A = this chain, B = another copy of it.
Amino acid sequence: MTPLAPAHTRGPVRVVGTGLLGASIGLGLRSLGVDVVLHDASPTALAMARDVGAGRLPEDGDDTLSLVVVAAPPDVTADLVVAELSAHPDAVVTDVASVKASVLRQVRDAVRDHAVLARYVGGHPMAGRERSGAVAARADLFAGRPWVLAPGPGVTAQAMAAVRDLATDLGAVPLTMSPEAHDEAVARVSHVPQVLASLVAARLLDSPDDAVALAGQGLRDVTRIAASDPSLWVQILGGNAGPVAEVLAALRDDLDAVLGALRSLAADGGAAGARATVARAIQAGNEGQARIPGKHGAPPTRYEVVTVLVPDRPGELGRLFTEMGEIGVNLEDLRLEHSPGQPVGLAEVSVVPGARALLEDELVKRGWTIAG
């Protein structure tokens, strides 16, 4: 990303842990000209991060650091934060772990001095990739993503500003929340969806092949994140066990209500209210889903979908979108759907409602087939 303004972050910045997130932070800061000093317990990982350009190795004089970023797995984050606070008595220390209250609690258990604790600001950039390690790092990993700042009590304004500047310099959108509010939020928007995606996908394990062959885009969407790394998720779910358990328990109560209603319907056509119980669950899902922000964090919009048959050859989608550009209709969202035994794909193109008729007419004129 081309910087629009000079960096506010002053170097050298020490990055502890040079996996995907740490190396991406290093790359992003380096692209702004900020000096970055790398550290990793693994010499191999450290050398890799240096080689991809995420920063340099430590030298004499690095004790003048003003910012340390701990970018390690959740289960070692607190220990590293404590060590860095002690080793760099003038530096602001932050981390990027996806759970915040348990890390802060461990840090506060180990560090009793309020003046030291005032230099630690927990953080959580809401970014990731399907690949890991410095080799997958990107200077733009955080572009446009929320970056939560979750300070404990007594944090200095200067420490907050340093971490906010880091997020902004890397193109992220800083948001401040308490560690508890953060953990409760990610339980709902990330951790519980992960658990349920995994549980739904696990139901396919003992399905016959011809049952799985009926899978459509709905199932693919619900289970996409079920491909996530078990060892990482054990750490995340373990580190946020209380809030995740609370949301899961509420979901389980809803599930039991639906299950009871369906059993009643299966046994004798349904006790009074069984259908209403099922309808209420689907209706509540409608209302919850409608709260999810749409494009660019704007309020959710109902787009209309135009489905176009696209031959399965390089360049055909390019032609489609080039012609959409010529027609002057902006693509709001896109989904590709594939079905067994067909040499075409279906491109489901979301557009603002007023543009649908125009787009369909113009695409048909240009020889495209509009499908259902």
Contact = CB atoms under 8 A, between A and B. Distances in A.
A224 B226 contact: no
A296 B337 CA distance: 9
Contact of A262 (B244, B251, B283): B244
Nearest to A172: B339
A153 interface: no
A342 B173 contact: yes
Interface string A325-341: 11011110110101111
Nearest to A344: B144
A275 B289 CA distance: 31
Nearest to A248: B259
A245 B255 CA distance: 10
Contacts of A333: 336
A106 to B, nearest CB: 12
Interface stretch (A61-69, A110-118, A201-209): A201-209
Interface stretch (A77-85, A126-134, A157-165): A126-134
Interface string A190-231: 101111111111111101101111111011111111111111
B319 A285 contact: no
Given A294-B338, A315-B322, A318-B322, A208 B181 contact: yes
Contact of A204 (B220, B278, B289): B289
Contacts of A212: 185, 189, 291-293
A41 B360 CA distance: 31
Given A256-B252, A305-B130, A145 B202 contact: no
Interface string A345-360: 1100000000000000
A143 B207 contact: no
A184 interface: yes
A148 interface: yes
How many protomers of this protein does the assembly include?
A: 2
Chain A: interface size category: 35 or more
A111 B244 CA distance: 52
A143 B309 contact: yes
Interface in A280-302: 281-297
Contacts of A258: 195, 199, 248
A250 B203 contact: yes
A285 B223 contact: yes
Nearest to A294: B338
Contacts of A271: none
Contact of A372 (B142, B254, B318): B142
A218 B293 CA distance: 13
B226 A288 contact: yes
Given A199-B285, A318-B319, 5 more contacts: A142-B372, A185-B207, A188-B207, A202-B284, A226-B289
A319 B325 contact: yes
A47 interface: no
A52 interface: no
Contact of A198 (B129, B248, B282): B282
